[in-house]
Chain A
Amino acid sequence: MTTFFDELHALFPDLIRSVEETVPDQVVVLLNGPDVTAIVRYILAAHQRRIVTVFAEDRVNAEGVFYNYYVFDRPGDPSWVILKAPIPERFPSFPSLAAELPAINWQEREIQDWFGLEAVGHPNPRRVALHDNWPDVQPLRKSFSLDTVLPPFEGERHVYRPTYGEGVFQIPVGPVHAGIIEPGHFNFAVAGEPILYLQLRMFYTHKGTEKLFESLPIHRAVFLAESISGDSAFSHGVAFCQAVERAAEIDVPTRAQFLRTILLELERIANHIADVGAIATDVGFVIANAHAGRVRELVLGLNETLTGSRVLRGMIAIGGVRRDLRPVQVEAIEKTLKVVECEFRDLVAIIQSSDSTRDRLEHTGILRPEKALTLGIVGVAGRASGIDCDIRRDHPYEAYSQLPFKVPVYRAGDVRHRMQVRIDEVGESIQIIRAALALLPDGPHRAPTQPIPRGRCALSAVEGWRGEIVHWVRIGEGNRIERCKVKDPSINNWPAVVEAVEGNIIADFPVINKSFNLSYSGTDR
């Protein structure tokens, strides 16, 4: 690690102002200016690191500059490298890296839309996070008030790329979809049945979440974190609490770490079971979904027994968990898991016994490993396309370092294998919970918390069931949050959907989309 930073210093003496490790395993490299191109190229090429996220912060009032943060990690290396590049208020722009790093295409444009910092040289600098009919506002600047009432919007929401050619036409879908899912607009260009290309318009559910964090005391912000993406309520809650705990140097009791781990895995199991059933439904194999729905109810019932909420809400707290588990509740976990394991095995057997279902799932919606790597795909979708990345193993948090588990990785990248990753992970999660129960220590379930000093920052990453969730916080005055960056895995993975549907027939779109099952609310915030 030290040699890495010595090298950086030696190679870029003019660019680097300081290197400091304020939080263990999180090294912040403060730069002299907004141009990070040379350093990023070097880090990516010479050290095989992966860019995790890019985000900005408005520090104009305090320091007279904006900051851009570039976060990198490397599998097997516990430390995060965070480049912190100041952008002067008078020249609100930074050189774009999106042409070389498609993985940060949307995130750079988000900075452009929300902070009014121009990504110079971006290959597609159009708006992404604000629709085209929004007035010219920069919601995440400190000078913009959360309660601002914007005038009625006028004009086009978005201009889609036109489609030309004989027999080629466009199919607009959404934002109100046919199923019970979240809103977003899909514009398909099709030549008969096959899809030529797909254009996406997201951010219909943009709720000003990141701005809202800045007005909340920390104990209320935990509940906002639970509402970022409803199916990942607990994962987002843990990601937020970990970030605050790291910033505040709160040691979470071991028992609480184990309880969090168990609940994180229960969230994964419930969602994976639902997805396996839903993928089967989208190819017309409805009986599998009926069983999946029934098995999922068992897990939700267990969630309620453990936390009082079927979707694990109101359980996570800064310093641990809100409620301890009594022995009878712990027994319920073992009992339910036994039933769920058998039932899930039967469910998988039923799906695999259906040749017509397999035929629809195999070679459908292929995301090639090279593409997945370029686009920076994470989580289930990444692991089905050869990206061997799992935060639980690469940056162990909570109790994961003490629990053995395998990370399933396939290279085929089709719907079948995205389902297979889920099937394998349900099995692994059950083993993780069993191992955690065997080791579950006694002790307090929540650490006492003190007022947190202002100005502390920390990053936290959690492998949610969908993929890597990243939160970054800066603590403000009076136990409030000054900035909270939320990165849901969905924002990484939407480009993968665009890539995977190309050349497939339009009737397969629902199943391809479901095999990714991305969160619109997590993307839009």
Chain B
Amino acid sequence: MFKILQKSFSVGSATADYPRLAPHLAEQFRGCPEFDFAAWSDARPAAEACPTGAIALHDSDGVRQVTVDYGLCIFCGECEQASIDGAVRMTQQFELAVTDRRDLILRAEYTLHPDGTHAGLQLAANCPVLEEPGKRIAEAIRNLLGRSLAIRQVDAGSCNGCELEIVALNNPVHDIERFGIHFVASPRHADMLLVTGPVTRNMELALRKTLAATPDPKVVVAVGACGISGGIFGTNYATMGGVDAVIPVDVYIPGCPPRPEALLQGILLALGRVWHRRLDSRPHRLGMRELPPPPDSMP
């Protein structure tokens, strides 16, 4: 007993203060790739190198359409290595959670040259309006004060990579319970389903039943490239693809697997919606407006 106490005192607090402070990232950490669409002269090497097809080309009538889907990206860095013109660069950006699947997709159109290269950016559309994490999270935490969130994690067919990082959310370093968020053993106790994928044919029914067993109001968060889109497994005889192929999804968290801070950002982003939905569904019981104004400093 003495040993245990002694150890605890000597260690002190191990918790990292994310999201108030930026996490400590190794210099080598790979976040999502960034694309300089104006300078990109040939997307073929990057598309060929991409293991999941996150970079896709469609050539027709002298026009090349390039699609980049962060919902498929596994942050491997192969596109940066393959790209000869330096238009693809790996960044350390990992706070990518969005509420709209379309916000993860970038599209650009070029004039196609006969030699296979392209130029003359004609259109760059659907550029993701990545949620401003700082702002949204601050708001969410304020809303969160004095209440708690119960999460039921559902593995609908993942490789277990995402689960490793979800488990890490509970360790003293990431300590998700400091936000009043905890993981519960039954969907009946949950406000949120945190679902990893791809959804297999064999888990489809279990996932639907779990959603049905979760009381309203509830939110569903799809985790990881496979949870968003099926990832490297895609859709085949045994998998249905992403979580939203089976049940409606409110927030998407890219990554392979998303690091714990990325998961946290996604969960906190979803929290805003927990609140709004609760207001919608039971306005007479949850008088948000009557609560005292939230303090400026975060917990």
Contact = CB atoms under 8 A, between A and B. Distances in A.
B30 interface: yes
A178 interface: yes
B168 A293 contact: yes
A41 to B, nearest CB: 36
Interface in A139-155: 139, 144-150, 153
B52 to A, nearest CB: 7
A181 B159 contact: no
Contacts of A203: 202
Contacts of B166: 180
Contacts of A287: 4, 8
B14 to A, nearest CB: 5
Interface of B: 3-4, 7-8, 11, 14, 24-30, 49, 51-52, 74-78, 81, 153-168, 170-173, 183, 185-187, 198, 200-203, 206, 210, 226, 231-239, 256-257, 259
B4 A353 contact: yes
Contact of A233 (B27, B161, B201): B161
A230 B162 contact: yes
Interface in A509-525: 519-521
A220 B234 CA distance: 13
Contacts of B4: 287, 350, 353
A148 B78 CA distance: 30
A139 B238 contact: yes
Contact of A219 (B49, B186, B203, B210): B49
A183 B259 contact: no
Contact of A223 (B52, B158, B234): B52
A440 B154 CA distance: 43
A204 interface: yes
A329 B52 CA distance: 29
A291 B206 contact: no
Contacts of B231: 227
B28 A204 contact: no
A187 interface: no
Nearest to A354: B4
Contact of A207 (B14, B74, B238): B238
B30 A314 contact: yes
16 contacts: A139-B238, A146-B236, A147-B235, A150-B237, A178-B185, A180-B155, A209-B233, A219-B51, A223-B76, A294-B171, A300-B168, A305-B28, A308-B30, A311-B257, A313-B76, A519-B160
Contacts of B226: 227
Contact of A180 (B3, B14, B156, B183): B183
Interface in A178-229: 178-183, 203-209, 211-212, 219-220, 222-224, 227-229
Interface of A: 131, 134, 137, 139, 144-150, 153, 157, 175-176, 178-183, 203-209, 211-212, 219-220, 222-224, 227-231, 233, 274, 287, 289-291, 293-294, 296-297, 300-301, 304-311, 313-314, 322-323, 329, 346, 349-350, 353, 519-521
B257 A208 contact: no
B168 A182 contact: no
B203 A175 contact: yes
Given A212-B234, A290-B171, 5 more contacts: A147-B235, A205-B155, A287-B4, A297-B171, A304-B28
Nearest to B76: A314
A323 B24 CA distance: 21
A146 B236 CA distance: 6
B76 A310 contact: no
B225 to A, nearest CB: 9
A323 B230 CA distance: 27
A182 B171 contact: no
Contacts of A139: 237-238
A186 to B, nearest CB: 14
B201 A310 contact: no
Contacts of B28: 304-308, 323, 329
Contacts of B3: 349-350, 353
A204 B202 contact: yes
Contact of A308 (B26, B161, B163): B26
B161 A227 contact: yes
B32 to A, nearest CB: 12
A326 to B, nearest CB: 9
Given A209-B233, A227-B232, A311 B171 contact: no
Contacts of B210: 176
A313 B29 CA distance: 11
A180 B173 contact: no
B200 A205 contact: yes
A294 B172 contact: yes
Contacts of A227: 159, 161, 226, 231-233
A229 B159 contact: yes
Given A223-B74, A223-B76, A230-B257, A176 B206 contact: yes
A220 B51 contact: yes
Nearest to A134: B201
Contact of B158 (A145, A219, A521): A521
Given A208-B239, A223-B76, A294-B14, A311 B206 contact: no
Contacts of A304: 25-26, 28-29
Contacts of A145: 237
Nearest to B151: A180
Given A182-B155, A205-B155, A223-B51, A230 B160 contact: yes
A290 B13 CA distance: 11
A288 to B, nearest CB: 9
Contact of B171 (A179, A204, A229, A296): A296
A209 B76 CA distance: 20
A254 to B, nearest CB: 23
Nearest to B77: A314
A339 to B, nearest CB: 12
A12 B164 CA distance: 50
Nearest to B52: A223
Contacts of A322: 77, 81
Given A204-B157, A305-B28, A297 B200 contact: no
A314 to B, nearest CB: 4
Nearest to A139: B237
A183 B160 contact: no
Closest 3 A-B residue pairs measured CB to CB? A293-B171, A230-B161, A178-B185
A207 B198 contact: yes
A231 B155 contact: no
Contacts of A224: 51, 232
Contacts of A182: 155, 158, 160, 163
B238 A231 contact: no
A311 B234 CA distance: 22
B24 to A, nearest CB: 8
A187 B32 CA distance: 43
A310 B173 contact: no
Contacts of A228: 159
Contact of B259 (A180, A307, A310, A521): A310
B7 A346 contact: yes
A220 B7 CA distance: 46
A153 B201 contact: yes
B142 to A, nearest CB: 28
B202 A520 contact: no
Contacts of B161: 227, 230-231, 233, 311, 313
Contacts of A521: 157-160
